[in-house]
Structure 1
Amino acid sequence: MTPEDLAAQARAAQAAGADSIHMHPRDADGRETLHRDSVDAALRAVREACTVPVGVSTGIWMTGGDPRRRLDELARWSDLTEPPDFASVNISEPAFEETTRLLRGLGVGIEVGIWSEDDAGAFAARYRGDHYARILVEVIDRPVDRSIADARRILDVLGGKDGAVPIQLHSDGDAAWPVLRLALRDGLETRIGLEDTLLDADFLPAKDNAQLVAQAVRHREAA
Structure 2
Amino acid sequence: MVQVCLNGSRGAADGAAVPLSPEELAGSAAEAVAAGATDVHVHPKTPCGRDSLSPRVVAAAVGAIRARVPVPVGVTTGAWAEPDPAARVARIRSWTVLPDHASVNWHEPGAERVAAALLERGVGVEAGLWSGTDGADRFARSPLGPKVLRVLAEVTDTDPDGALDSARALLSGLGVTLPRASAAGSARAGGRPPRPVLLHGEDGGAWPVLRLAGRLGLATRAGLEDTLFLPDGRRARSNAELVAAALVQWRTAREG
For normalisation by structure 2, the TM-score amounts to 0.82
**Deviation (angstroms), 1:129:** 4.1
**Deviation (angstroms), 1:217:** 1.1
CA deviations on 1:149-186 (whole Å, 9 max, x unpaired) are 11101111110782421101111111110110011111
Instruction: Specify the code of the residue in structure 2 equivalent to 1:153.
Output: A
1:98 aligns to 2:113 (yes or no) = yes
Aligned partners of 1:121 and 1:158 also within 8 Å = no
- Aligned partner (choices 71, 76, 82) of residue 94 of structure 2: 76
Moved more, 144-153 or 120-129: 120-129
- Aligned partner (choices 94, 104, 115) of residue 89 of structure 1: 104
CA deviations on 1:105-159 (whole Å, 9 max, x unpaired) are 1110000010136322222233464311100011114322221111101111110
Instruction: Specify the code of the residue in structure 1 equivalent to 2:85.
Output: P
**Deviation (angstroms), 1:37:** 0.5
DSSP-derived class of the 2:173 partner: helix
Partner of 1:216: 246
Aligned partners of 1:36 and 1:73 also within 8 Å = yes
Partner of 2:31: 12
Once residues 148 and 216 of structure 1 are traced to their aligned partners in structure 2, the CA distance between those partners, rounded to angstroms, is 17
Larger helix fraction of residues = 1
Partner of 2:4: none
- Aligned partner (choices 141, 147, 159) of residue 131 of structure 1: 147
1:57 aligns to 2:57 (yes or no) = no
Partner of 1:145: 161
Aligned partners of 1:138 and 1:171 also within 8 Å = yes
- Aligned partner (choices 201, 210, 213) of residue 180 of structure 1: 210
Once residues 214 and 176 of structure 1 are traced to their aligned partners in structure 2, the CA distance between those partners, rounded to angstroms, is 15
Once residues 131 and 173 of structure 2 are traced to their aligned partners in structure 1, the CA distance between those partners, rounded to angstroms, is 10
DSSP-derived class of the 2:210 partner: helix
Partner of 2:45: 26
Task: Report the identity percentage.
Answer: 44
**Deviation (angstroms), 1:92:** 0.6
**Deviation (angstroms), 1:201:** 1.4
Once residues 125 and 102 of structure 1 are traced to their aligned partners in structure 2, the CA distance between those partners, rounded to angstroms, is 18
Higher relative contact order (CA 8 A, sep 6+): 2
Aligned partners of 2:100 and 2:123 also within 8 Å = yes
Aligned partners of 2:157 and 2:166 also within 8 Å = no
Once residues 39 and 172 of structure 1 are traced to their aligned partners in structure 2, the CA distance between those partners, rounded to angstroms, is 24
CA deviations on 1:3-31 (whole Å, 9 max, x unpaired) are 00000000000000000000001011111
1:200 aligns to 2:230 (yes or no) = yes
Once residues 128 and 162 of structure 1 are traced to their aligned partners in structure 2, the CA distance between those partners, rounded to angstroms, is 18
Moved more, 137-146 or 210-219: 137-146
DSSP-derived class of the 1:135 partner: strand
Aligned partners of 2:236 and 2:242 also within 8 Å = yes
Partner of 2:195: 165
Once residues 98 and 163 of structure 1 are traced to their aligned partners in structure 2, the CA distance between those partners, rounded to angstroms, is 23
